[in-house]
Structure 1
Amino acid sequence: MPFLGHLRRLAFGWIDGLLQTIHNARLTFRLSRSNWSMMAGFIVLALLNALTDSFSVMLIVPLLQSFSVDSVFGGVPFLEQIGALLQPLDPTSRLRWVALLILFILVAKGILQYLLDVIVYIMPLRVERDLRIRAFMAIMESRLSFAESLTSGETGNFTASFPARAGIAARFLMQLIAAVMTIVLILGLLLAITPTALMGLAAFAIVASALFRAITGPLSRRLDTQLTESQERFTQAYFEAVNNKRTIRIFNATEIFLGRIRKLLETLRTVQAQTIAVQNATYPFFSVLAGLLVCLAVLAASFYQPETSQSLLGILLVFLVAATRLLGPFSILHIANMHFAIHSEAVVQMTRFLDQAAANVDTDGVLPLPSDRPRIEFRDVSFAYPGSETGVRDLSLTINPSEFVAIVGPSGAGKSTIFHLISRLHRPSSGQILIDDVPLDDLAVRNWWDCISIVSQDVPIFNATVRDNIQFGVDEEPDDRRIMEALALASADEFVSRMPDGLETRLGEFGSVMSGGERQRLALARAFYHRKPIVMLDEVTSQLDAITEQRVAESIRRLHADGCTIIAIAHRYSTVRQADRLLVLDKGQLVDAGTPETLSQKNEFVQAMAHGTA
């Protein structure tokens, strides 16, 4: 009874594993849908390649038999019949014809193998490329709250590690399917030759596979989980260290982070080494087991039934030849299955991520902009960031066309939240934002983004030239005259002229070759270059000296005079004193509004700003 219970558990475990493999295979096909034609071509070529092996066996064995007076293959009907077809030919002609046929088969096999080797390396690269593009678009088109919920480790996995592993999974899935079909084909030919050898080979395949799976299955599943976890931990730590390199240097923590990364890399290397050790055990395991089985059968026949050993020898030799031919696809079957299982976790997680991103896609409106210089109105708008009370509550305000409005208030009052809502990076949880009485959600967002220009306090500078950074987002020939005008308006022309290559100077990652104030002015020059109807400025003078701030303030007034709507967030009174109106926020609500002059007389916060104590 305990033995039957063990067999039952093995059977159910095998069935569960098979169902899980089929499920993961379906997900892999789903992720690889743009490469189905290449996958189908690979399977067809693999079958043709298997046929070349089978035909060579069916020619060589009868040829040898035809030269033997007392053939050990006399009891093997199918081979005996093929050998009889060769008998009428004289020995020289027999050798020549078979040699020509084998030469043709070998040339065909060489061509087929070359095509298979090319496809098996090209296909995962194409799957990886497609998934990286899909992951990038999923992040860019999903709601900002979803995209920003991803850690750097998860982002690295979804855009780099998992697409690569999904491509590898697709490769091994194709090899798995091709190996199964090759084995079925060879077994079918063996059935035509001798059912006795087929039954022996089938029994060998079932027992050997079950034994190998019982030995390596739990280890493969453990390695699968460990590989995914170790890659994610390493990616997380690596990106964290690289993105915070300045802080790490200042705190003299380089060696600490280096030790952490080395430890994570060593863990990853250990898992990868164990995976290689398991997969390389496949061929030796099956070849030794097959040889052992044949030797035991021959020895048993010689000891217990010597008179039948001669007739049994033919069947055993056919079994040995077929087993040898099957060892290749059989080993590929188990290696491919093992690798597919190891990388299928990436397939599952990649599929889950794409499904979640699709469920969180940022829906778009279809209406065009009502006018070139629209009015912006908040009606009882509320919004809070996930896990935080920061945001706005029941906010109502209006910003008229060509108006210069400054938004002020203490930290956490909701000033930047207004920018996020106007730019539709976030959407209100209640209330409405209207653009000329049209709900913002009903507008085609790309048309709306073409209407606004934002200069934020985090100053996004890209690792490109000065010219590319100024013209960012404009798909047209650069206008250097306009670029220089924009740089002058932002008081950035002087330091750009000192750069070694002028407008062609590359600015490094995040503008690392510039100071904070220079990055701020360059971002402001970008807004002056685009000259969009609505310009949103978030603390654009926070890192500027008094003289430069005065020049930038004059440039902002010039934009306002040209008819642009200016919406500015600032803590310095000198930046907002020329505004048409000040909106004072506190705890997410509008608490006061009026001209700078009026509020500087009655509002405590504006008074503190004017005296430099806010």
Structure 2
Amino acid sequence: MTDAPATRSTTECAAAKRAVAAGAVDAGVAGIGSVMQSLREIFAGLGATGRGKFWIALVLMILSGLTEGFSILLLLPVLKVILADGSGAGRLNLGDHHIAGFSLPDVSISLPVLLASFVSLVVVQVLFNRSKTAFMSDLLFDFTNQCRLSLFSALARARWDKITRMSGSELEHALTGEVERISTCGYYLLMIVQGIVMLLIYLIMSALVSLPMTLVMIIFGVIALTIMRPFRHRAARFGTLLQESRRRQFGTVSDFLGGLKSVRATNSEQKFYREFETLLYRNKHDAGVFARQNATGSGIFQIMITLGAATFILVAVTWLHLSFARLVVMLLVAMRIAPRFLGLQAQFQQLLQDLSAWRHVSKLRDDLVKAVDTSVQDHSAPVTFQHEIRLENVVYHYVGGAQPSLDTLSLSIEAGRVTALIGASGSGKSTVADLVTGLIRPQSGALYLDDRVLQPSELRGWRDRVAYVAQDNFLMNLSLRENLTALTQRECADDDLWQALDLAYASGFVRRLPDGLESLLGDRGVQLSGGERQRIALARAFLRLPDFLVLDEATSALDWEAQEHIAASVKKMARAGMTILTIAHRPSMVAFADQVYALESGRLIEAGTAEDLLSRKNGVFWTMMQKELTQSDT
């Protein structure tokens, strides 16, 4: 696959880039207030990891910074003193020397002891840095997991109507790639704090030697950081471009994998390849532009620091007339200060590059929190009913819909009986299923259990007694056993599993699988056929032993023999007291129902037993049966 990127995709990416760049000016470079707010939030997140981990990590980093210059080179002055003694004793007499006017104790140290002490100090330093690294890793993992869990929790608690309007691939990308960039934000923020503290320490040391020269260093450092401001803005813009590029890449890969069978069957691989290739080329181009700009900025910054060092020496020698000893000390301190300014610039630039991820995840989490489903937070006892589930004058209008999905709908689902919903696509059947399972709430009217309205605080308890099987099945890349027990709270023996599989007409093909109940199903159950996946989903629902079972086109992929077997199982469970709502386009899953409702544009247009409705010529149910008979004859 070596085709050049498609022109149309390139144009779309360029347009997206311009839009994102414009947004970055607002979101990434709008002002220091926005940046400072994000930094305060990250600080709060790091501080919330518990048990003072943030402050301990900060102290460890500062101590590490103070010891980073400790090396074998420190032995050179000591060795010079020992060798200059000329006695050949190989000893260091501390009493012959002083530091900053203070005499050292009159102690003589042999060279082997001195070297052993030095090695011991290096070992301690290595162990300390090892502990610091492990502690930092633990802190950043806690911080990252905290961010990921807070977003996951907000998603799990959001209203169903909010979730259905969101992009699944965008949510997956936020929970994986974007959160990892947030971890980078936390790391560089800690590095910046450490750098600032170390810079202050060295500046204080420098001021004790020469305050004027310290002021010269500060002025040049501030000027250099100010000149680099445009480059930091570009880093923020690139971060937003990178975020959009990765989001689009993730979406393309997700769409490709989700529809791989259809893509392969229609020879559409090249289309997805070209789209993905275009995104990668665009990302490479943006990264190249940023790398060149970043290299230019780094070069300018180094030139500024070098110019500052030259000015520093010139002022020290020609104006302040510092002694050689003080000049050497100042130069040594300056050699510690200059890298701090360089490091702060690089770290802050990297932080700004990844700060867009924090803003994106925070906004996504806040939007989900605002749309919280309060019923998810309640822990009510299981809710039951004795006689009926009733919708009374219910209205429900999806956001952006041209007309209500349900328009003053009233119907009753009697306990211990099978109720069927029929109607054309878009007639409101699945909306009824979402309402009676408590996924959404009536915008007008009410949902009754017997003679009382089901309250929002009872929805969680109600869902404990409900099982739902959709046309698109939810299967995981786990064993068949794990998939069966994934949605039930009770302990299930093998006999329970096989009984559920028998009811779903699935035990036969499961016994033929190489590993039986331990067989892996693959991603989304790809190792099974569509009909087999539906039967596993049905068995999983039966295993919950619900009071109320909703089958929403749950047998659409089954052949007539399997449908007849499952219809018999459904009737058997209804006779045992289970209440069942079946939604189907095929008469074999409707004809046995005790009550049939026909919907059109969210309104009830037919109601009665299957026998009654079959006698109404040209009615919805009669037409459905006639089409089924005609297809059978054909």
State the TM-score, normalized to the length of structure 1.
0.85
Which residue of structure 1 aligns with residue 149 of structure 2? Answer: 133
Looking at structure 2, the residues matched to 65 and 314 of structure 1 have their Cα atoms a distance apart, in angstroms, of 17
Task: Find the counterpart in structure 2 of residue 440 from structure 1.
Answer: 454
Q: Distance in 2 between matches of 1:160 and 1:565?
A: 41
After superposition, where does 1:222-371 map in structure 2 within 5 Å? 222-272=237-287, 289-296=304-311, 298=313, 311=322, 313-364=324-375, 368-369=381-382, 371=384
- Distance of 2:544 and 2:489 partners within structure 1: 12
Tell me the residue number matched to 2:615.
Answer: 601
Deviation for aligned residue 1:328: 3.5
Q: CA RMSD in A?
A: 3.4
Partner of 1:204: 220
1:444 is paired with a residue whose SS is helix
Question: Match of 1:611, SS?
Answer: helix
Aligned equivalents of 1:156, 1:496: Cα separation in 2? 32
Deviations 1:454-485 (A, max 9, x none): 12122222222222222221244431112112
Q: 1: distance between equivalents of 2:562 and 2:383?
A: 37
Q: Which position in structure 2 is the counterpart of 1:176?
A: 192
The question of 1:457 aligning with 2:457 is answered no
Measure the CA separation in 2 of the matches of 1:352 and 1:588. 35
The amino acid that maps onto 2:283 is L
Structure 1 position 538, deviation (Å): 1.8
Question: 2:384 is aligned with what amino acid?
Answer: S
Change (3 A) 1:413 1:284: closer
TM-score (norm 2): 0.82
Match of 1:558 among 559, 568, 572: 572
Closer, same or farther in 2 for the Cα pair 1:509/1:96, shift >3 Å?
A: closer
SS class of match (1:351): helix
* In structure 1, C-alpha distance between the alignment counterparts of 2:224 and 2:566, rounded to whole Å: 78
Partner Cα distance (1:549, 1:522) in 2: 14
- 1:490-524 CA-to-partner distances (Å, cap 9, x unmatched) read 21111111111111111112221222222222222
Match of 2:388 among 366, 375, 400: 375
State the distance in 1 between where 2:153 and 2:580 align.
31
* Distance of 2:211 and 2:379 partners within structure 1: 69
Q: Aligned pair 1:485/2:495, yes or no? A: no
Paired position in structure 1 for 2:405: 391
Is the contact made by 2:410 and 2:604 (CA closer than 8 Å) also made in structure 1?
yes
Distance, in Å, in 2 between the alignment partners of 1:89 and 1:204 is: 44
Deviation at 1:327, TM superposition (A): 3.1
Partner of 1:587: 601
Residues of 2 paired with 1:443 and 1:374: CA distance?
21
What's the counterpart of residue 88 of structure 2?
none
Cα drift, residue 403 of structure 1: 1.9
| Gap runs ≥5 in structure 1 | 1-14, 68-79
Q: Does structure 1 residue 513 correspond to structure 2 residue 530?
A: no
CA distance in 1, matches of 2:122, 2:271: 58
| C-alpha deviation, 1:246, in angstroms | 1.5
Q: Do the aligned partners of residues 369 and 522 (structure 1) sit closer, same or farther apart at CA in structure 2, a change above 3 Å counting? A: closer
Offset, 1:25: 0.7
Identity of aligned residues (%): 26
Report SS of the residue matched to 2:520.
coil
Task: Compare 147-156 and 225-234 and name the one that shifted more.
Answer: 147-156
**How many angstroms apart in 1 are the aligned matches of 2:541 and 2:611?**
28
Shift of the alpha carbon at 1:176? 0.6
Evaluate the alpha carbon distance shift between residue 399 and residue 205 of structure 1 in structure 2; reply closer, same or farther with a 3 A threshold: same
Whether contact under 8 Å (1:492, 1:522) holds in the other structure is: yes
The residue that corresponds to 2:39 in the other structure is 25
Mapped partners of 1:333, 1:119: distance in 2? 22
* Unaligned stretches of 5+ residues in structure 2: 1-28, 83-96, 630-634
CA distance in 1, matches of 2:43, 2:578: 52
Mapped partners of 2:316, 2:189: distance in 1: 41
Q: CA deviation at 1:130?
A: 2.3
Alpha-carbon distance, 1:370 to partner: 5.3
Structure 1 residues 279 and 573 mapped into 2: Cα distance closer, same or farther (>3 Å)? same
How many residue pairs get matched? 581
What SS class does the counterpart of residue 602 from structure 1 fall into? Answer: coil
Q: What SS is found at the alignment partner of 1:463?
A: coil
Matched to 1:359, the amino acid is K
Give the direction of change, closer, same or farther, for the CA distance of 1:301–1:576 in structure 2 (3 Å limit): closer
Query: Cα–Cα, structure 1 residues 275 and 527, in superposed 2: closer, same or farther, change >3 Å?
Result: same
Structure 1's 199 and 537: CA in aligned 2 closer, same or farther, altered over 3 A?
A: same
2:274 aligned partner, one-letter code:
G
Structure 2 match to 1:167: 183
1:219 alignment counterpart = 234
**1:265 to partner: Cα distance:** 2.5
8 A contact 2:379–2:460 mirrored in 1: no
Which residue identity lines up with residue 430 of structure 1 in the other structure? S
Q: How does 1:29-48 map to 2 (within 5 A)?
A: 29-35=43-49, 37-48=52-63
What's the CA shift for 1:275? Answer: 5.5
Q: Distance in 1 between matches of 2:147 and 2:386?
A: 40
Q: Displacement of 1:557 after TM fit? A: 1.1
> Counterparts of 1:132 and 1:234 in 2: how far apart (Å)?
21
The answer to whether the 8 Å contact 1:166/1:343 transfers is yes
Q: 1:559: Cα distance to partner?
A: 0.7
